[in-house]
Structures are given as structure tokens and as C-alpha cells.
């Protein structure tokens, strides 16, 4: 939308996973795996369903020819980091986050195991970002879009209240990268979409038109 692609206008419906909305039959028809996010593209006939966030990012990037490099080597680097996130992210969320923040018992072994893995991942990102502006090179692309919400939140917003435990302040290049992404006006808008927690001015439960951000 920010690049001016009018065909990118979209409706964002809130699927409240705390209330089990991901198991409703309408949603399952779009994502049989019952997880958010999922996309239904009504501009095709019949509509195209896409699930898995990386598949959605690739679908949209290819549809609009944006945020994915054209050069084969650059594209391979972008897709490598995108797929890296698909494999790595669950260790941060489902692994570390679960045992550190949500499990009813504080179990030392899994907390240490997943904390070590998350720190290894942050170190990898930090080394990669030491000599490049974005994950796959000089340009912001779908690899950054996939990694910023998890790793950016970890280094900038005390994800799981674990900033000190993970010593996130030491990953200076990740912090610089996340801050730069977070300054983008489109990212600021996106952060509000389907958000139903935190300060009210940061929430937009449903988004059906660009003007919804102003109202």
C-alpha cells in the first residue's frame, strides 16, 4: 500500500486465537493448520488461499513485484533468510517463550536449552547485520518483514520480560536494524492491525480501509 499498489487494499479480520477462532470452519477452509496468519485473495477466480506467513510474503511480493530481489543470487539470499526465520522463530516463541513465560513450572533445563539457542540466533543475526544494512543486503525485503516482529520485539521491547536474562543489549547491530525498521510509517501502521491489547491508540482490531487508521 505504501508503495502505491492500489490492488494491495485489504480487509484484516481479527481471528482471536485466545478464544479459539482459528478452529472455526470458515477459517479452517483458508488454513487447514488452524494458525494465524492466513490470506484469501479475492482478486483471482476462484479466490486463492495462502497459509504460512512465508508463503503469504512470497505470494504478495511476487504478485506486486515488491520487496523481493529480482537478481537470482540476491533472491536466493533473501529466501534463505526468510526460510531461516520459519525454522528459527519457533525456538524463540514456542520454545523459549513457552518455558520462560508461560509454563506453570519454571523448569531450568528447557529454559537454559532454549535461551542458549535464542542467544545463538541473536548472535547470528548480529554478525550478519555487522556489515549489511538489512538481513539479505542493502534493501529492506520480505526476510526483514518476517524476522523483525519476533527478533525486533526481543531486542527493543523486552519480549517475555527476558531482555536482561538474554542480555539483548549486547546485540547492537540487531538493535540498530530493528530500530530502523520500526521507524517505517508502514510498519507503524501494520503493528496496529488486529491488535487488541496494550494502549488503545496502538490498537486497530479490524482494518477494512486505509482511513481506518485515522478514525
| Residue 47, C-beta contacts closer than 8 angstroms, at least 6 positions apart | 40, 41
136 binds ligand GSH per the rule CB under 6 A: no
How far is it, in rounded angstroms, from Cα 143 to Cα 52? 14
Q: Measured from the CB of residue 175, what is the shortest distance to ligand GSH in angstroms?
A: 23
98 binds ligand GSH per the rule CB under 6 A: no
Q: Choose between 7 and 94: whose C-beta lies nearer to ligand GSH.
A: 94
186 binds ligand GSH per the rule CB under 6 A: no
22 binds ligand GSH per the rule CB under 6 A: yes
Q: Which of 13, 35, 75, 132 binds ligand GSH (CB under 6 A)?
A: 35
Question: Based on C-alpha coordinates, what's the Rg of the chain?
Answer: 18
How far is it, in rounded angstroms, from Cα 176 to Cα 6? 31
Question: How many chain residues touch ligand GSH (CB under 6 A)?
Answer: 8
Window of 32-40, 106-114, 130-138, 161-169 that interacts with ligand GSH by CB under 6 A: 32-40
Window of 4-12, 30-38, 124-132, 177-185 that interacts with ligand GSH by CB under 6 A: 30-38
Could you give phi then psi for residue 49, rounded to 5 degrees?
A: -100, 145
Q: Measured from the CB of residue 176, what is the shortest distance to ligand GSH in angstroms?
A: 25
52 binds ligand GSH per the rule CB under 6 A: yes
53 binds ligand GSH per the rule CB under 6 A: yes
Q: Choose between 31 and 173: whose C-beta lies nearer to ligand GSH.
A: 31
Window of 31-39, 73-81, 169-177, 188-196 that interacts with ligand GSH by CB under 6 A: 31-39
Q: Measured from the CB of residue 170, what is the shortest distance to ligand GSH in angstroms?
A: 26
Residues in the chain: 215
Interface residues toward ligand GSH, by CB under 6 A? 17, 22, 34-37, 52-53
Amino acid at each position: 500500500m505504501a508503495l502505491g499498489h492500489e490492488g494491495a487494499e485489504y480487509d484484516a479480520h481479527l481471528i482471536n486465537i485466545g478464544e479459539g477462532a482459528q478452529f472455526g470452519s470458515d477459517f479452517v477452509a483458508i488454513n487447514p493448520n488452524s494458525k494465524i496468519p492466513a490470506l484469501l485473495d479475492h482478486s483471482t477466480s476462484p479466490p486463492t488461499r495462502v497459509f504460512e506467513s512465508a508463503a503469504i510474503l512470497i505470494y504478495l511480493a511476487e504478485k506486486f513485484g515488491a520487496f523481493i530481489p529480482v537478481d537470482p543470487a540476491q533472491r536466493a539470499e533473501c529466501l534463505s533468510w526468510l526460510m531461516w526465520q520459519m525454522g528459527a522463530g519457533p525456538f524463540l516463541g514456542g520454545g523459549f517463550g513457552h518455558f520462560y513465560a508461560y509454563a506453570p513450572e519454571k523448569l531450568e533445563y528447557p529454559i537454559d536449552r532454549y535461551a542458549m539457542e535464542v542467544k545463538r540466533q541473536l548472535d547470528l543475526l548480529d554478525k550478519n547485520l555487522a556489515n549489511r544494512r538489512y538481513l539479505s543486503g542493502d534493501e529492506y525485503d520480505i526476510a526483514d518483514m518476517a524476522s523483525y516482529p519476533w527478533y525486533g520485539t526481543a531486542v527493543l521491547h523486552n519480549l517475555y520480560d527476558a531482555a536482561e536474562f538474554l542480555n539483548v543489549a549486547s546485540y547492537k547491530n540487531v538493535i540498530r536494524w530493528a530500530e530502523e525498521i520500526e521507524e517505517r510509517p508502514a510498519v507503524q501502521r501494520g503493528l496496529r492491525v488486529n491488535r487488541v491489547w496494550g494502549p488503545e491508540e496502538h490498537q486497530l482490531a479490524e482494518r477494512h480501509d486505509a482511513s481506518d487508521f485515522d478514525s
